[in-house]
Structure 1
Amino acid sequence: MRSRIATAALFAALCLPLTACTSPETTGPLLGAAGPQARPAERAVPDALRFAAKTVDGSDFDTASLAGKPVLLWFYGATCAECPAQAFETAALADRHLGRVHVVAVAGPGAGAGLQGFAAPAAGGPLTHLADAQHALRDRFRAAGVNTYVLLDEDGEDVYRGSGADTGSLDRELAALVGED
């Protein structure tokens, strides 16, 4: 009988600290190796990313979801002969910088459902394709026309703009912006 009581007491003594650590009612500061840490604050949405947009399928797009990381906008159009091939390069850029950069394709007038089938990153899932039937986004970001890239840093500042023909310098700019070697 004594051994059962001793075993139960030992078991309770070992389990008590475990249950105290996993209490769902913890409301104090987060604790880490360096002591108390602040809870993560929501990232402010830069003015450049405060606009209304719809995807090519007509759904509302929450532009605030782009806050906190650099944003690469690729503008393409229905009459652009180079854009289907450029869609593959845009998807490759999204793959190379997955998780560090938001890549968004912007379909001009007449692009319909866009180049969604072409621009499908292997690792990152489908790209977001925004509809820009009235050129509101092209004008807002001062894109020169179709097959144009505009890169914004995490604060919404314009740091690069160029044509799809020069993705080498864009890739270097992206790598520098996110601290890749």
Structure 2
Amino acid sequence: MRSRIAAAALIAALCLPLAACTSADPAGPVLGAAGPQPQSAARAVPEALRFTAKTVDGSAFDAGALAGKPVLLWFYGATCAECPAQAVETAALADRHLGRVHVVAVAGPGAGSGLQGFTAPAAGGSLTHLADPRHALRDRFRAEGVNTYVLLDEDGEDVYRGNGADTVSLDRELAALVG
């Protein structure tokens, strides 16, 4: 009995300093081993961006990292004849709105490593290409099929959806959204 009480007292004594390293006030400073840290100014992650996926090269992807800016999703597929040309236009859209909009390509089943070679924005490196082998993302965002765009505002609200052939309307929507 004494050993149980002694063990409980030891655990409580060890946990007390750990409890003192946190702030009960979510707006207050976050304390850690290095002392007070500034509170992150990050926005809350909208429900639409609360998902993880794999990129076409197998890397992990957390969509929560996209929070705070509009997100343009482009859905394409292996059997889409127009998609290689549309990939070039998607890269151009990413260039025109660099730093103001996240552009993510979503490869459907059979797309392998995707159209990464076609979607190399001149000004911004490369686009993220997510693998969607079972159409989970296509279904989540209710994309009509391949060569479809879905635009979310910074709050994760669906503000535009359309066929890849109509990039003029999409570009107008993007420009209006980001000012």
Q: Normalized against structure 2, the TM-score is what? A: 0.78
Which structure 1 residue ranges, 4+ long, deviate > 3 Å from structure 2?
Answer: none
How big is the shift at 1:65?
Answer: 1.0
**Is residue 95 of structure 1 aligned with residue 95 of structure 2?**
yes
Aligned ranges 1:26-175 → 2 under 5 Å: 41-175=41-175
* Aligned-residue RMSD, C-alpha: 1.7
Identity over the aligned pairs, expressed in percent?
A: 86
Opposite residue 57 of structure 2, the aligned amino acid is D
The superposition leaves residues 128-172 of structure 1 with CA deviations (integer Å, 9 ceiling, x where unpaired) of 000000000000000000000000000000000000000000000
The superposition leaves residues 9-59 of structure 1 with CA deviations (integer Å, 9 ceiling, x where unpaired) of xxxxxxxxxxxxxxxxxx799xxxxxxxxx651211100000121100111
The whole-number CA distance in structure 2 between the counterparts of 1:175 and 1:119 is 20
How big is the shift at 1:62?
Answer: 1.6
How big is the shift at 1:64?
Answer: 1.2
The whole-number CA distance in structure 2 between the counterparts of 1:94 and 1:122 is 9
Matched residue count: 146
Opposite residue 115 of structure 2, the aligned amino acid is L
The whole-number CA distance in structure 2 between the counterparts of 1:177 and 1:41 is 22
CA contact (8 A) 2:160 2:170 kept: yes
CA contact (8 A) 2:45 2:64 kept: yes
The superposition leaves residues 40-90 of structure 1 with CA deviations (integer Å, 9 ceiling, x where unpaired) of 512111000001211001111021110000000000000000000000000
The whole-number CA distance in structure 2 between the counterparts of 1:48 and 1:95 is 24
Q: Normalized against structure 1, the TM-score is what? A: 0.77
Opposite residue 95 of structure 2, the aligned amino acid is D
Bigger Rg, structure 1 or 2:
1
Aligned to 2:32: none
Aligned to 1:18: none
Uncovered stretches (5+) of structure 2, i.e. residues with no partner? 1-35
The whole-number CA distance in structure 2 between the counterparts of 1:104 and 1:41 is 24
Uncovered stretches (5+) of structure 1, i.e. residues with no partner? 1-26, 30-38
Opposite residue 94 of structure 2, the aligned amino acid is A
The whole-number CA distance in structure 1 between the counterparts of 2:58 and 2:154 is 27
Opposite residue 46 of structure 1, the aligned amino acid is P
